[in-house]
Structure 1
Amino acid sequence: MTSLNQSQQQRQALRKQVRQARRALSDDQQRCASEALLSYFCESSEVKNASRIALYLSVDGEIDTQPLIDACWQQGKEVFLPVLHPFTPGHLLFLLYRKETPMKANTYGIAEPVLDVTAVCPVTEIDVICTPLVAFDAQGQRLGMGGGYYDRTLTTKGLKATPIGLAHDCQQVERLPVEAWDVPLPHILTPSRHWRW
């Protein structure tokens, strides 16, 4: 029990440390990082071959995903955003997102599309799922906010989507404490490189 508590304490400390680091980035640093990330995103064969891409809206110093969303729209790709599942706590739905999509704040204060069953896409029909993360290591392990939403999504039966983590370079740590439920990522994009495992 002690080791689990110790691991959770380490994870919480890392979350705090890395979130502070990315929030400390200036507007110029954020803009440059987002532009550099966009080039890796657009050059990725996984993205080039995808027609349905799940993205998310950046908060809390996360690297800006709006340029990625705009690039997908320009290329005629369908963009989907996560919505907290109204009946199954801890799970996500993915809704089609367009410029005119009505939005609302969820329980975490994050903007998400207003629930519309006609806009829901089964996660098994999405080609690429871009995942937010707080920290990552050189083994492809991802540390999220602790809710497990994306870990559950990425273990969905029949999932064919390629998961791609998006992060600032300052979010890389030497090694993450890993739990049994953690799902490592095959790809992580940062402003300086495309990590592949």
Structure 2
Amino acid sequence: MTDPLLRRRLRRARLALSQRDQRDHAESVCQRLISSGLMHAAKRIALYLPIAGELDPSPIRARLQGRRRWYLPVLRQHAPGRLWFVRLDASSRFKRNRFGIPEPAARGRKILTPQGLDLILVPLVGFDAQCHRIGMGAGFYDRSLAFLGDRQHWQRPRLIGLAHECQRVDHIEPEPWDRPMDAVVTERALYQRQI
């Protein structure tokens, strides 16, 4: 169980970053991630709208706009604690979910389960060099991605955490339900999980 004091300290660290640092870090992460080749084959990519100092993934989408389909997470109403992913396009309309986070209002054909995605850019509160992640604490991503732990041969979606270097900790002891990232990218480094 993650120490609530650690989670608070890490959230304060990212909130303490200036707007300029936030923009510079987002651009650096974009450069590092695109040049890494980790996104090369991904056509259906989920990202997130940043809140509370999370690293902004929008430069990545702007750079790769015409070549990919982009999705945002939405809370599943009929499966509490799990996420669906809704296609993002020029006609997307937004509403606030129960946590006050904007999410696309579209339904129907634009919805994908995580299994339908090639890559998910995942927000986080903290991480370690082995690509373990501390999330906000509600477990939405872990529950939605639990299927990845059941199938060793499952190749997608690939999970890439986006973070500021100030969110790195020495070691995270993962819980059995925690899903490790395949990689975490910061303004200073690319961390890849060793299998």
* Alpha-carbon separation, structure 2, partners of 1:121 and 1:178: 27
Match of 2:92 in 1: 101
Match of 1:46 in 2: 38
Code of the aligned partner of 2:41 = N
* Alpha-carbon separation, structure 2, partners of 1:49 and 1:41: 13
Gaps of 5+ in 1: 1-6
* Alpha-carbon separation, structure 2, partners of 1:72 and 1:123: 21
Match of 2:16 in 1: 24
User: Which deviates the most, 149-158 or 16-25?
Assistant: 149-158
Would the aligned equivalents of 2:72 and 2:88 in 1 still touch at CA under 8 Å? yes
Would the aligned equivalents of 1:131 and 1:163 in 2 still touch at CA under 8 Å? yes
Match of 1:167 in 2: 163
User: Which deviates the most, 145-154 or 87-96?
Assistant: 145-154
- Alpha-carbon shift at residue 13 of structure 1 (Å): 1.0
- Alpha-carbon shift at residue 194 of structure 1 (Å): 1.1
- Secondary structure of 2:81's counterpart equals coil
Aligned length: 188
Gaps of 5+ in 2: 149-153
* Alpha-carbon separation, structure 2, partners of 1:136 and 1:71: 26
* Alpha-carbon separation, structure 2, partners of 1:180 and 1:147: 15
- Alpha-carbon shift at residue 99 of structure 1 (Å): 3.0
Would the aligned equivalents of 2:88 and 2:104 in 1 still touch at CA under 8 Å? yes
Match of 2:109 in 1: 118
Code of the aligned partner of 2:125 = V
User: Which deviates the most, 152-161 or 14-23?
Assistant: 152-161
- Alpha-carbon shift at residue 49 of structure 1 (Å): 1.2
- Alpha-carbon shift at residue 159 of structure 1 (Å): 6.5
Match of 1:192 in 2: 188
Among 150, 175, 182, which residue is 2:178 paired with? Answer: 182
Match of 1:151 in 2: 142
- Secondary structure of 1:94's counterpart equals strand
Code of the aligned partner of 2:141 = Y
After superposition, the C-alpha distances for 1:29-60 in whole angstroms (9 at most, x for unaligned) are 11110110010121232312111101111000
- Secondary structure of 1:48's counterpart equals coil
Among 74, 86, 89, which residue is 2:77 paired with? Answer: 86
* Alpha-carbon separation, structure 1, partners of 2:113 and 2:131: 26
- Secondary structure of 1:188's counterpart equals strand
Would the aligned equivalents of 2:130 and 2:191 in 1 still touch at CA under 8 Å? no
* Alpha-carbon separation, structure 2, partners of 1:166 and 1:92: 18
Does residue 13 in structure 1 map to residue 13 in structure 2?
A: no
User: Which deviates the most, 77-86 or 147-156?
Assistant: 147-156
Say what the alpha-carbon RMSD is for the aligned residues.
Answer: 1.5
Q: TM-score, normalization: structure 1?
A: 0.90
- Secondary structure of 2:137's counterpart equals coil
